[in-house]
Amino acid sequence: MRLFGLTMGFIAILTLAGAVRADNEVKVELKGTHLCCDGCVAAAGEILGKIDGVKGKCDQKASTITITAKDADAAKKALQALADGGFHGDTGNKDLAIKDDSGAEKGKVKTLTLVGIHNCCRRCNGAIKDAIKKVDGVTGDTAKPKTDTFEVTGEFDAVELVKALNTVGYHVKVKKEK
């Protein structure tokens, strides 16, 4: 009987410890992320699978990635990892959001090299090109499927270009020339 009591006490402690961890669990939904194909879904899943304490679920039709993390720090790491992988979206939460780390400066430029975009197929590339075309002053680009770097030319605002890509679910960074 004593062994039963000790076992039940141990189970209660483990259950309580699990409840404490569950209280710290954070769930974030990243909306408006470009997920046009199985390649996009697989890439986002692979990124999230490498982060300790994080589980991710992609809903291709809804263009969302739901992140369940052990705590806010793990959720932030997941969001940054997705951004580094070229994915963008809106969480509706200013504390748990993809940060603007593009390096784009407001003002007109004639050429801009962008890096780090997720561009696994022709549909991704088509969405990228469509977003680029909507920016006033853009006259051309070198975006091609299965490449994460391209150049945009014309006379356009760099920040507006980055915003246009973010709006359709892509994260990019401006390549710094040395």
> What single letter denotes the amino acid at residue 158?
A
Average of per-residue pLDDT values in the chain: 89
Cα–Cα dist 33/73, whole Å = 21
Cα–Cα dist 87/77, whole Å = 14
Question: What residues contact residue 60 under an 8 Å CB cut-off, 6+ apart?
Answer: 35, 36, 37, 40, 41
177 falls in which pLDDT band (50, 70, 90)?
Answer: low
Q: Which pLDDT score, from 0 to 100, does residue 24 have?
A: 87
Q: What is the pLDDT of residues 32-51, one digit of tens each?
A: 999 999 999 999 999 999 99
Please determine, for residue 7, whether its predicted confidence score (pLDDT) is greater than 70: no
Please determine, for residue 17, whether its predicted confidence score (pLDDT) is greater than 90: no
Average pLDDT (117-140) is 98
Q: Which pLDDT score, from 0 to 100, does residue 81 have?
A: 98
- Of residues 22 and 101, more confidence is placed in 101
Q: Which pLDDT score, from 0 to 100, does residue 18 have?
A: 35
CB 172 within 8 A of CB 115: yes
Domains of the chain with CATH codes: 25-99 (3.30.70.100), 108-174 (3.30.70.100)
Instruction: Report DSSP state, residue 136.
Output: T
Take residue 6 and report the two structure tokens written for it.
């000790």
